Structures are given as C-alpha cells and as structure tokens.
Amino acid sequence: MVRDPRKKRLEKTKQQEQKGPSMAQKAVNFAKASAKHVSSGLKSVSEETKNIRLAICNTCPHKVGEENNPTCNKCGCFLNIKTGWASQACPIGKWGTGEKTAAKKTKRSGGCGCGKKKT
C-alpha cells in the first residue's frame, strides 16, 4: 500500500498544531516576546483593553490550560501576561498591538514573534 506523502505531512502538521508548540519553542517564543516588550519600553495596555483581549481569547479554540492561568496553543504564551503587554498581538490576528482590539490584517502574525502564519 502506497501512502501519499503530502497527506502524511499534512496529518503530522495537524497533530503538531493540536499539541501546540514544544517546551523549547515556547521558551524561544517567550524570549522573543520579552525582548519585544523590553525594546518597546515595557508598555502595558489599559485594564479595559486587557479584559477585551482576554474575552476574545476565552472564545478561541486555541485557548488551553487552567481557567486562572490559560495559555495560547498557537504560540504557547501565558495569556494573563501576553494580553497585558502592548507590544503583543494574537498570532492569528484576533487582536492587535497597543490599544487596538480589532483583528489585524497584515501578512505577518506580528504577535509574540512565534512566526505562526494566520490560519
């Protein structure tokens, strides 16, 4: 029986997406996000914007983990931290940087620097 290698690759990619990033990738993503936060002057968003971002994440199928310490399965970031940093954006464009809470329409994900493309 010959199996289509493209189909096999696609299945593997889907499985990896469901598992989320590895611990090593999460560490890299967090380091990039932290560097971006520091280089942007450690700016935070208002409590209102953070709550709007968290509300968006609460409806997202990529939100995983405990209710009081959720993480994003796309980038692996801790949402309670990520949603408070002005330099951060959702890796799939559900919310933008700064006080922008609307979807960001750019080619790059921006976000935490994880490099995930919009799906």
In the complex with ligand SF4, the residue whose CB is nearer, 28 or 56, is: 56
If one counts every other C-beta atom within 10 angstroms of the C-beta of residue 30, the result is 19
Q: How many CB atoms are closer than 10 A to CB 85?
A: 21
Give the CA count within 13 Å in the CB-facing half-sphere of 56: 20
Stretch that binds ligand SF4, among 2-10, 16-24, 32-40, 84-92 (CB under 6 A): 84-92
Indicate which single residue of 26, 36, 37, 94 sits in contact with ligand SF4 (rule: CB under 6 A): 94
Q: Please pick, from the candidates 21, 76, 84, 91, the single residue that binds ligand SF4 as defined by CB under 6 A.
A: 91
Contact flag: residue 74 with ligand SF4 (CB under 6 A):
yes
Among residues 33, 57, 86, 114, the one that binds ligand SF4 under rule CB under 6 A: 57
Task: Name the one residue in this structure whose structure tokens are 């993480």.
Answer: 71
**C-alpha 64, offset from chain centre:** 11
Residue 75 to residue 34: CA distance in whole angstroms: 13
Interacting residues toward ligand SF4 by CB under 6 A? 56-57, 60, 62-63, 72, 74, 90-92, 94
